Amino acid sequence: MALNAVIILMASIVLVAVYRRGYDKGLSCAIFLLLLPPSNLSIELGMWVSGLPGLTIHRVTIVIMVIMWLRRPDLRRSAWSVRFGGLYLAMLFGCTIATIFSGNFTVSVKRLAFFLFESIWLFFVLASSIRRRETIDALVRAATLALVGAAVCGVLEKRAGIVVPSYFGMRAQSEFVARSSGFGGGDVASTYGHRILFGVAMAVAAHHALHMSVQAKKKWAVAVYLAFSAIVLLALYYSQSRGPWLAFLLSAVVAVLLCHRPYVKRLLLCLILGGVAMAANPGIQRNISALYESTWDPSTVKGSSFRWRFQVMENATARLSEAHSPVVFMFGYGFGSHLFMQFAAVELSSGHFGDFTSWDMEFAIVLFERGVFGFLTLLLLYGLVFGRGYRSLIRGSPHKDMLSLSMIALFALVFMKTNVSFFAPQLVYLESLHVAFISALTSRRIE
């Protein structure tokens, strides 16, 4: 606890000092602090006052970001006109209604506050603060370095047994949970709390690093970012998760369709080198082949988990259709309600049953907790974000490289919401960052 408090205090002092050197510099430093540290780097206020949430380094960072943003009247005024802002406010409205009628009111209120602070407000701060292309480049650089830092932590966890979150008190939900339940063996979670969530971050990080290698002007910088790309891809493999692997490959296809030739060449080079590494190492081939073969075998844990995603959505839909009032049907059961819902065992395949104990699908959680209104609003947001981004691309946007990166990153994140629950806050921040990029790049002229 004392170590956590010291680290959070020092990080806060550094962040404020960087903000004083320049608002954009402070914003970049804040993004680094939002994406790298684990969520268990926190001060547990509940030890002194029952019911209070933990004061994580992420929440302290966002508090400082908001304070610095509030000191800029020009940014506050422009926040009301940011693109997609209306949909974020609509989501907040729907979630507020759901919270009022929630059967788990205390939990829902806390999570609503987190949603307001860590998602809604963060988006408005970022979207209104981006006025120059240099700002975007600095934020992407900071995000890339943070994600590479997480990759390094993952490699250290795999190769040296150094688990970074364990130094901050309790160990985050990492691979010992997976091993005890029959998943994986030697997989890593780094600072993201779970191997799948870590894999999601690495799938996005690979595109970040490749983007930076293309943007770099000096040869040494190009070499450094290509080395970062290799480290990230190694960490992605170490996550031992099929979903993030597939997310990276599918997003690579999107990249081939959207990106400039230099980026596509670097991406194809990485894929070819990855294929060569697989061909040279039969162990890697066997490992990947075994994982994907088990996907179709319902008698294995991996196979059951694959089918579980479909069952989760079916259960969420069924429970919502049985809602006791039209308000609950429209706005859901409220934040955190999925944690308290118990379901009977379900048949995953012929003669193979499983208890409904895990919500491994973010979209199912959204539907259950936010109802039809919240679910459709989120889908509309994604549709408009991709639609606006694509329209700007085909109209010859001078920022094609950045628009493409954000669309690729968001594609990977949205795809993975069909595979896992996003309980790692860093992924929420990463999504807000890229939506803010597309909001800024498609709504006004970037200086």
Q: What is the pLDDT of residues 399-430, one digit of tens each?
A: 999 999 999 999 999 999 998 999 999 999 99
- Is residue 171 very low, low, confident or very high in pLDDT (cuts 50, 70, 90)? very low
Which residues are CB-neighbours of 13 under 8 A, at least 6 positions away? none
Q: Is the pLDDT at 206 greater than 60, yes or no?
A: yes
Mean pLDDT of 272-294: 78
The token pair that represents 157 in the structure block: 């966890």
User: What is the predicted pLDDT for the residue at 355?
Assistant: 55
User: What is the predicted pLDDT for the residue at 152?
Assistant: 98
Task: Kindly list the distances between the CA atom of residue 321 and the CA atoms of 260, 302, 368, 376, in Å, as whole numbers in the listed order.
Answer: 46, 30, 10, 15
The token pair that represents 210 in the structure block: 């490749």
- Is residue 47 very low, low, confident or very high in pLDDT (cuts 50, 70, 90)? confident
- Domain assignment of residue 398, given as a range: 84-296+361-443
- Is residue 169 very low, low, confident or very high in pLDDT (cuts 50, 70, 90)? confident
The token pair that represents 317 in the structure block: 């839909």
Q: Is the pLDDT at 275 greater than 90, yes or no?
A: no
Q: Is the pLDDT at 383 greater than 70, yes or no?
A: yes
Which residues are CB-neighbours of 262 under 8 A, at least 6 positions away? 214
Q: What is the pLDDT of residues 2-19, one digit of tens each?
A: 899 999 999 999 999 999
- Is residue 182 very low, low, confident or very high in pLDDT (cuts 50, 70, 90)? very low
Please state, rounded to an integer, the average pLDDT across all residues of the chain.
89
Q: How many domains does the chain have?
A: 1
User: What is the predicted pLDDT for the residue at 445?
Assistant: 62
Mean pLDDT of 139-143: 99
Dihedral angle sign, alpha carbons of residues 295, 296, 298, 300: negative
User: What is the predicted pLDDT for the residue at 173?
Assistant: 43
Q: Is the pLDDT at 177 greater than 50, yes or no?
A: no
Residue 47 included in any domain = no
Residue 307 included in any domain = no
User: What is the predicted pLDDT for the residue at 288?
Assistant: 75
Look at 27-31, 119-123, 133-137, 352-356 and tell me which has the smallest mean pLDDT: 352-356
Residue 170 included in any domain = yes
Residue 403 included in any domain = yes
- Is residue 327 very low, low, confident or very high in pLDDT (cuts 50, 70, 90)? very high
Read off the pTM. 0.92
Q: Is the pLDDT at 352 greater than 90, yes or no?
A: no
Look at 284-298, 329-343, 354-368 and tell me which has the smallest mean pLDDT: 284-298
Contact predicate 235/190, CB 8 Å: yes
Residue 324 included in any domain = no
Q: At what angle do helices 23-35 and 425-443 cross, to 10 degrees?
A: 140
Residue 5 included in any domain = no
- Is residue 271 very low, low, confident or very high in pLDDT (cuts 50, 70, 90)? very high
Share of the chain above pLDDT 70, in %: 88
Residue 268 included in any domain = yes
Residue 338 included in any domain = no
Q: Is the pLDDT at 127 greater than 60, yes or no?
A: yes
- Is residue 289 very low, low, confident or very high in pLDDT (cuts 50, 70, 90)? confident
DSSP string, 120-162: IHHHHHHHHH--SHHHHHHHHHHHHHHHHHHHHHHHHHHHH--
User: What is the predicted pLDDT for the residue at 351?
Assistant: 52
